Amino acid sequence: MQTPARILALAFILFAFTLNEWAFEFIHPTERDIDYFVRLLVVIADVFFIDIIAVLLFFGKDLSAWNTLKRVSELFPKLTAFYFGLFVSFTIFCCAEFGTRYYFKHFYKPPFKDVTEWNPQPTIEDSIFAYRLPENKIINHRYLVNDSLIYEQNYKIDSFSRRITPTDTITKDKFIAVAGCSFAIGYGVNDNETFPYFLQQQMPGYVGYNYGVSGFGTQHLLLQTREKITTKEIKQKQGILIYFFIDNHLNRLIGSRRIIKLWGENFPYFFLDDEKKLQQQGTFKTGRKWRTLFYKTITNSAIVDILDLEIPFSISDDDFKLAAAVIKESKKEFEKNFPDSKFVVLFCPGSKCSGELAALLAKRNIDFVDYSMLFDINSKEYLSHYSDPHPNGKAYEEIAKKLSEYLTKNQ
Radius of gyration of the chain from Cα atoms?
Answer: 28
- Which stretch of DSSP H or E encloses residue 171? none
CA distance 336 to 334: 5
Closest CA to 97 of 38, 19, 18: 38
> Inter-axis angle of helices 36-59 and 5-19, to 10 degrees?
170
Query: How confident is the model at residue 44, as a pLDDT?
Result: 87
Q: Are residues 39 and 177 in the same domain?
A: no
Identity of residue 274:
D
Q: Are residues 235 and 269 in the same domain?
A: yes
Query: How confident is the model at residue 31, as a pLDDT?
Result: 60
Closest CA to 5 of 69, 64, 58: 64
Q: Are residues 32 and 175 in the same domain?
A: no
Identity of residue 113:
K
Query: How confident is the model at residue 411, as a pLDDT?
Result: 74
Q: Are residues 42 and 134 in the same domain?
A: no
Q: Are residues 61 and 138 in the same domain?
A: no
- pTM (whole model) above 0.75: yes
Q: Which of 65, 88, 106 is the last residue of a domain?
A: 106
Q: Are residues 95 and 120 in the same domain?
A: no
Helix (H/G/I), strand (E/B), else coil: 283: strand
Query: Containing domain of residue 57, as a range?
Result: 5-106
Is the bond leading into 312 cis (omega within 30 degrees of zero)? yes
Q: Which of 106, 133, 162 is the last residue of a domain?
A: 106
Query: How confident is the model at residue 410, as a pLDDT?
Result: 82
Closest CA to 278 of 239, 234, 323, 316: 323
Query: Could you list the pLDDT tens digit for every one of the 411 residues in the chain?
Result: 455 656 766 676 666 666 666 655 555 555 666 688 888 888 888 888 788 777 777 776 766 777 777 888 888 889 889 988 998 999 999 999 999 999 988 998 888 899 999 999 999 999 999 999 999 999 999 999 999 999 999 999 999 999 999 987 677 899 999 999 999 999 999 999 999 999 999 998 999 999 999 999 999 999 999 999 999 999 999 999 999 999 999 999 999 999 999 999 999 999 999 999 999 999 999 999 999 999 999 999 999 988 889 999 999 999 999 999 999 999 999 999 999 999 999 999 999 999 999 999 999 999 999 999 999 999 999 998 999 999 999 999 999 999 999 999 887
Q: Are residues 209 and 335 in the same domain?
A: yes
Q: How many CB atoms lie within 10 A of CB 116?
A: 12
Count of domains for the chain? 2
Query: How confident is the model at residue 48, as a pLDDT?
Result: 83
CATH code, domain with 326: 3.40.50.1110
Closest CA to 8 of 68, 48, 84: 68
Q: Are residues 93 and 157 in the same domain?
A: no
Q: Which of 41, 71, 106 is the last residue of a domain?
A: 106
Q: Are residues 98 and 245 in the same domain?
A: no
In 3-state terms the chain splits into helix, strand, coil percentages (rounded to 5) of 50, 20, 30
